[in-house]
Amino acid sequence: MPRRAVREKSPARRVAEQRSGEAEATAPSSRLTLLLDTNVVLDVILARAPWDTEAVLLLDTIARGRASAWVASHALTTVHYIVEREKGRSAAVTAVGDLLQLVGVVPLDTADFQRALAMGLKDYEDAVQAAACLRIGADFLVTRNARDFKGAPVEPRSAGEVLAFLAGSTSE
């Protein structure tokens, strides 16, 4: 079996287990709203170094209620497809199930896909991510490819940048 193929307990599962034991009321009312780009989710699930380290820390932070996280609905099928191709069907089902316990899903409709087309980004999938971000009023779109969102009406940030932002907001 590959060295870091599938973790004994995925970060999303650890986080979901932690969350189930915590009262929802402990989360601050002014917490950040984040849209997680597909690459950040896959970095965690597939343990893609070096990006997985900060992404795992961010998911742990989300689980502790410091931010709420969302994924665009279309990202779930992409995550399942890629994880299944890399690790098999069982790992894909587990990964998506664990993810759904940790994050919300942004429902997208015709208007969101049209909005994405109008953005004029090079990659339509990135534009759909940006539209999902706008749909929920996210503070940041967490990605490791901020340059892909140049010109989009969203605030792209890396997992590390969001962690630093959250660390700074606790010291105020």
Q: Which stretch of DSSP H or E encloses residue 39?
A: helix 38-45
Q: Say how many CA atoms lie within 13 Å of 46 toward its Cβ.
A: 21
Strand partners, 105: 71
> What pLDDT tens digit does each residue of the chain (172 aa) get?
232 333 344 444 444 444 444 333 333 347 899 999 999 999 999 999 999 999 999 999 999 999 999 999 999 999 999 999 999 999 999 999 999 999 999 999 999 999 999 999 999 999 999 999 999 999 999 999 999 999 999 999 999 999 999 998 765 5
- 3 state SS for 60-110: HHHHCCCEEEEEEHHHHHHHHHHHHHHHCHHHHHHHHHHHHHHCEEECCCH
- What is the pLDDT at residue 3? 29
Strand partners, 140: 34
Question: Helices 38-45 & 52-63, crossing angle to 10 degrees?
Answer: 100
Strand partners, 72: 106
Strands 32-36, 67-72: pairing kind: parallel
- What is the pLDDT at residue 169? 76
- What is the pLDDT at residue 171? 56
Neighbours of 108 (CB within 10 A): 17
- What is the pLDDT at residue 170? 63
- Within 8 A by CB and 6+ apart from 117, the residues are 124, 127
Assign domain 29-170 to its CATH superfamily: 5'-nuclease (3.40.50.1010)
Indicate the pTM of the whole model: 0.82
